[in-house]
Structure 1
Amino acid sequence: MNATSTLYVDLDGSLIATDLLHESLLKLLRASPLAVLNLPAWWMHGKAFLKRQVASRVDIDVTTLPYRPEVLQFVRDARAAGWRIVLTTASDFKFARRIAEHLKMFDAVLASDGERNLGGHRKLAAMQVDAAGGSFCYLGDRAVDLEVWRGADSAVVVSRSASLVRRAARETRIDAHIKPGSTSLARYLYAIRLHQWLKNVLVFLPLMPVLHELSWRIVSDAALAFIAFGFMASGIYIINDLLDLDSDRRHRRKRLRPFASGEIRASTGLAMSAALCGASLLLSLLLLPARFVEVLLAYLVLTTSYSFFLKRRAIVDVFSLAALYTVRVAAGAAATGLPLSFWILSFSLFVFLSLALAKRYVELNGSQAEVSQMEKDRNYHPVDLPLVLCAGVAAGQMAALVLSLYLQDQQMLERYSNPVYLWIMVPVFLFWIVRIWLKAVRGVLHDDPVVFAARDWVSRLAVAIAAMALWVAG
């Protein structure tokens, strides 16, 4: 490194653990879905033109991007040693300039300008012109950078790949190898929200009235529906996270999610989402009734609409969430061929409306920054807090009322030899829903009440008591 005078620093994947083109395309998709129809025409004018058109239509908060701390420290050390530092990227100049202004560690910026895409040999040529015959080092992270390293005096490789380091060493001298941390399997499982599969237990709810008449076919079909819904929900969760990257990075907890933190790239996330949704549809088409496939597609349409539009409309969003839970109940009935009980459907709608409102209450009762983000992303305001509280508690009480009426239904009474024991479930449910809201008001409820309930021993005890009541009533 001592023989060089200029350090050229790559941006995407090197300085930041993400790709700005992918992120800007996702922002365009979220802000104006119809605008993506212009992508083929923009592409025909060249990649630089495409990047400029996308960059002119979206903004990226450069202050929250997942910068690699090891690379930042390396660049600071080089600057302290008297090096000239140049940010060199194929991303559009608009974003590169803002990043340079934010970090205040670059002497110049070389980037795509709408006419010339600064990648590969064009990047090398621009660096050679900028260096004016002087020696230079290039910091990069991918195999595409080998062409640039071939013309550089030395290289800094930012990669976990030992193979890439060896290939770069055949092109030029290696000054440093910065090895980012690896992403564990647990983080990939967290990215697909495996813990959220608990919600899919709702597909078994239609089995409750016929617990004593269950067959292996009914149970296996419900289990397959559980898995199919899990795959589909995970695929949509990934899309939702990718569309919310900016807002997640401003949140004290959500900024640590795999996509927001840059542990998993957006392109990888899109591939994961396509694979999960495809697996869900394939499983459903091959092994489950056509009626279930119809319900699954309805869920896909509703949850996609929620991700793009509905979640940004106050009150509409919580009814959409309640509907997404209730659709799982309908899916269980469709998969098993059991009748869809009006009582179970009504109970599900009210209880999940209450839980969705609890989620919003917690978010509205957060820090000032989180409340401001809620105003921007969800169209809720601080003055809405009492309304959300009252509506949520009322919906919970309505669920309890529907449950008590359901337990008096004649068909329900005929299915059990001792139906009086079923009434134990009513006070147990009332206690549980009121306790959820007590936790919310006290500020100790997780922002997802369903996940909180899964980890809460009192909630588990309530489920156990309800199950015992069903067994004794049998």
Structure 2
Amino acid sequence: MSDDANIPLCVDLDGTLLDSDLLVESGLAFVRANPLRALAPVGWLASGGKTGLKARIASEVDLDVTCLPYNKAVLAVIEAEKAKGRQVVLATASHISYARRIAEHLQIFDRVLGTEDVNLSSRRKAERLIADYGDKGFDYMGNSSVDLPVWKHSRKAWVVNASKAVVRLAEGQGNVEKVIDTRGNVLLTWAKALRFHQWMKNLLVFAPLLAAHQVGHLDLVLRGIFTFFVFGLCASSVYVLNDLLDLPDDRHHPTKRNRPFAAGKLSVFAGLAVAPLLLIAAFGGALWLLPWKFTATLACYYVLTLAYSLVLKRVMMVDVIALGMLYTIRIVGGAFAFGLDLTFWILAFSMFIFLSLALVKRYAELVDARKKGKEAKARGRGYYPSDLEMLSSLGAASGYLSVMVLALYIQDEHTISLYRHPEFIWLSCPLLLFWVSRTWMLTHRGEMHDDPVVFAIKDKVSLVVGVLFGVIFWMAR
């Protein structure tokens, strides 16, 4: 038997075995479930320190350990070491109740050490392992600077996904066995987390400029570009916060579980730091160069989105109306940014068409659930697969109402004065009827992306329809 077989391998949890942090995740889960008690953890920390905070949150939050983002490379190392006959110990600063449930789920640990009476982190963890196994009597696998005291007293150090500075400090102690790095391209990962592709929705801020035939004014176009980026920063802040609050639901979703935070490719703590920075940049830019009415609209957008993430997305029908409003708010914000008047027609059209698209989104989710044989209410939503028929009726009706609004717009006196050949706009009505009908048919067949706007941007037929729309209105001008 090799010397390794007589030396236990002690494995850290947060950031090592797990591509996340249980304290932060459980804290977010608590806030999500109890938004009115969001500041309660601050009081628990002040009265009981980290040990008391972890104990209280563990008693309040029931985490689903089966879908946490476990590091596959670390699991492979553990299995290989166990095959050598080694004892493997889970040694974590997370609360002991979570640690035991994880050990029970994975079935790979011979012993579990976690926070109980004291916060088992850094020097306290080192002292506990020295007391149990002796100085240099264990190997340790960790990931951060708080693990340096433990590595110092271990026989061999395994470093997982640590910063370059931590790797240098660990190597300076002279006992690093292996450095494991499973992180991908950080910039590409952040681009995915910030959902830059979703910024295309912010092109709606230009709708009032196009409707008013003011695209020839360079100063307004430049202001529109700035407005586009301000809305983008605010939207990305919301996307990050939404992903953090939706971690449990996303991890049960067939595609959303691959999002950077749900998959553990980005740390939850980093998300909590970036979200407010993006928000500050967005509102700072709005206050600096844009009218106060736009800033107020941006604030309404953020508040509605936050309410949607925390509560509204789980309330039947309120969720899709809120989604439709979020699209319309972009148009309202554009009008205020350009100093243009809002018309009844553009508001009515946008509300009906975007309500239809919001219903497409919900319908697509339920189609996927029905295909998998699920008849229970969709996780994190207020709908059952049996609601499909009603949702399709409501969604198609809303889409067709947008066509009717477009038809009535053609007969408006202001429209007749704005266009030299308004009769050409009638050609857009059958075109829009075709697009709405085709969108719902594809959704019914289960061929719709879970975000219809992203689908439309990538769909060749939708792009052709968009170009034809532009040609029709150009002919009418």
Task: Please state which band the TM-score falls in when normalised by the shorter chain.
Answer: over 0.9
Contact 1:5 1:134 in 2 (8 A): no
Deviations along 1:229-257, one digit per CA (max 9) or x if unpaired, are: 11101110111111111111111111111
SS of alignment partner, residue 141 of structure 2: strand
Deviations along 1:329-355, one digit per CA (max 9) or x if unpaired, are: 100111011001111000000000000
TM-score by length of 2: 0.96
Contact 2:215 2:221 in 1 (8 A): no
- Cα offset for 1:172? 4.5
Match of 2:450 among 420, 444, 447: 447
What is residue 363 of structure 2 aligned with on the other side?
A: 361
The CA distance in 1 between the partners of 2:27 and 2:333, in whole Å, is: 33
Q: Which amino acid aligns with 2:121?
A: G
Change (3 A) 1:228 1:198: same
Q: Which amino acid aligns with 1:287?
A: L
The CA distance in 2 between the partners of 1:46 and 1:194, in whole Å, is: 39
The reply on whether 1:84 has 2:87 as its aligned counterpart is yes
The reply on whether 1:197 has 2:199 as its aligned counterpart is yes
The CA distance in 2 between the partners of 1:136 and 1:320, in whole Å, is: 55
The CA distance in 2 between the partners of 1:398 and 1:345, in whole Å, is: 13
- Cα offset for 1:61? 1.3
Match of 1:429 among 410, 428, 432: 432
What is residue 3 of structure 2 aligned with on the other side?
A: 2
The reply on whether 1:239 has 2:228 as its aligned counterpart is no
TM-score by length of 1: 0.96
Match of 2:303 among 297, 301, 304: 301
Q: Which amino acid aligns with 2:106?
A: L
What is residue 16 of structure 1 aligned with on the other side?
A: 18
The reply on whether 1:420 has 2:397 as its aligned counterpart is no
Change (3 A) 1:374 1:359: farther
Change (3 A) 1:371 1:202: farther
- Cα offset for 1:310? 0.3
SS of alignment partner, residue 461 of structure 2: helix
Match of 1:29 among 24, 28, 31: 31
Q: Percent same amino acid among aligned pairs?
A: 42
Q: Which amino acid aligns with 1:412?
A: T
SS of alignment partner, residue 97 of structure 2: helix
- Cα offset for 1:162? 4.5
Contact 1:149 1:172 in 2 (8 A): no
What is residue 465 of structure 2 aligned with on the other side?
A: 462
Stretch of structure 1 that moved more, 33-42 or 159-168: 159-168
The reply on whether 1:135 has 2:137 as its aligned counterpart is yes
The CA distance in 2 between the partners of 1:422 and 1:238, in whole Å, is: 40
The reply on whether 1:73 has 2:76 as its aligned counterpart is yes
Contact 1:251 1:370 in 2 (8 A): no
Contact 1:16 1:65 in 2 (8 A): yes
What is residue 256 of structure 2 aligned with on the other side?
A: 254
- Cα offset for 1:56? 1.0
Runs of 4+ in 1 over 6 A off after TM superposition: none
Change (3 A) 1:277 1:372: farther
What is residue 344 of structure 1 aligned with on the other side?
A: 346
Contact 2:152 2:173 in 1 (8 A): yes
Match of 2:151 among 144, 149, 152: 149
Contact 1:363 1:374 in 2 (8 A): no
SS of alignment partner, residue 368 of structure 2: coil
Match of 1:394 among 394, 397, 406: 397
What is residue 282 of structure 1 aligned with on the other side?
A: 284
- Cα offset for 1:154? 1.6
SS of alignment partner, residue 46 of structure 1: helix
Contact 2:19 2:264 in 1 (8 A): yes
Change (3 A) 1:179 1:30: same
The CA distance in 2 between the partners of 1:370 and 1:260, in whole Å, is: 24
SS of alignment partner, residue 56 of structure 1: helix
The reply on whether 1:159 has 2:158 as its aligned counterpart is no
Change (3 A) 1:225 1:212: closer
Q: Which amino acid aligns with 1:209?
A: A
Contact 2:159 2:179 in 1 (8 A): yes
Aligned-residue RMSD, C-alpha: 1.7
The CA distance in 2 between the partners of 1:362 and 1:48, in whole Å, is: 44
Q: Which runs of 5+ in 1 are unaligned?
A: none
The CA distance in 2 between the partners of 1:141 and 1:50, in whole Å, is: 23
SS of alignment partner, residue 213 of structure 2: helix
SS of alignment partner, residue 296 of structure 2: helix
Contact 1:153 1:172 in 2 (8 A): no
Change (3 A) 1:346 1:227: same
The CA distance in 1 between the partners of 2:135 and 2:270, in whole Å, is: 39
Q: Which amino acid aligns with 1:226?
A: F
Q: Which amino acid aligns with 2:394?
A: A
Contact 1:183 1:264 in 2 (8 A): no
Contact 1:200 1:328 in 2 (8 A): yes
SS of alignment partner, residue 378 of structure 2: helix
The CA distance in 2 between the partners of 1:175 and 1:370, in whole Å, is: 48
Contact 2:377 2:384 in 1 (8 A): yes
Deviations along 1:266-317, one digit per CA (max 9) or x if unpaired, are: 1111222112111110110001000100100011111100000000101110
Q: Which runs of 5+ in 2 are unaligned?
A: none
The reply on whether 1:264 has 2:266 as its aligned counterpart is yes
- Cα offset for 1:374? 5.0
